Amino acid sequence: MDFQLAFDASEIDDLLNGKRDGGNGSLMDVLEEVQARYRYLPRDALILISESMGVPLSQTYGVATFYNAFSLKPKGRHVINVCTGTACMVRGAKKVLERISERLGIQPGETTEDGQFTLETVNCLGACALGPVVVADGAYSGEMTSAKTDALLKEVMSEVETV
């Protein structure tokens, strides 16, 4: 995937130095910042973080794989999550997911070739009364229909075109 940002060890060193110089230096905080920068956790970054923080690589990897907020694979600039919990599925989440998948040309868990979109499913978003629910770049949209799904995708895609 050629859309991923090139890993720069000096950026990780700067981040870790900032954490040592009075910043919050927890492993979670460092992983969150690296994830925000690269849209995933590069293998080399995990190794460097472990060595610099004196944390076993197995522990760093364990944290990185335990929390769904972290990814070991590059994600797109825009992440779209579709709830597939029972309440959302009963209310039509399958059709919403199929519509998004068809429009983006990817399946859940995949990222578009250009690195713009990642489509994911989640088991529950805690908004069952609003189902089916889609979260695009952190913004919740409820009671999704085909028309609402098309409008949401048009809005997110227009952001790509203006960049």
How sure is the predictor about 48, in pLDDT bands with cuts at 50, 70 and 90? Answer: very high
- In Å, the largest CA–CA distance within the chain is 52
26-30, 152-156, 159-163: lowest mean pLDDT where?
Answer: 159-163
d(CA 81, CA 135): 5
Cis previous bond, 132, omega within 30: yes
DSSP-assigned letters across all residues of 123-144: S--S-GGG-S-EEETTEEE-S-
pTM score, whole prediction:
0.77
pLDDT digits (tens, 9 = 90+) for 64-120: 999 888 999 989 999 999 999 999 999 999 999 999 999 999 999 999 999 999 999
DSSP-assigned letters across all residues of 37-101: HHSS--HHHHHHHHHHHT--HHHHHHHHHHSTT--SS---SEEEEEE-SHHHHHTTHHHHHHHHH
Nearest alpha carbon to residue 155 among 76, 69, 74, 80 = 80
Between helix 93-104 and helix 146-162 the angle, nearest 10°, is: 30
Q: Could you tell me which CATH number the domain at 78-162 has?
A: 3.40.30.10
Break the chain into its structural domains and give their ranges.
Answer: 9-66, 78-162
Query: How far lies 124's CA from each of 23, 109, 133, 156, in Å?
Result: 34, 16, 9, 22
pLDDT of residue 1: 45
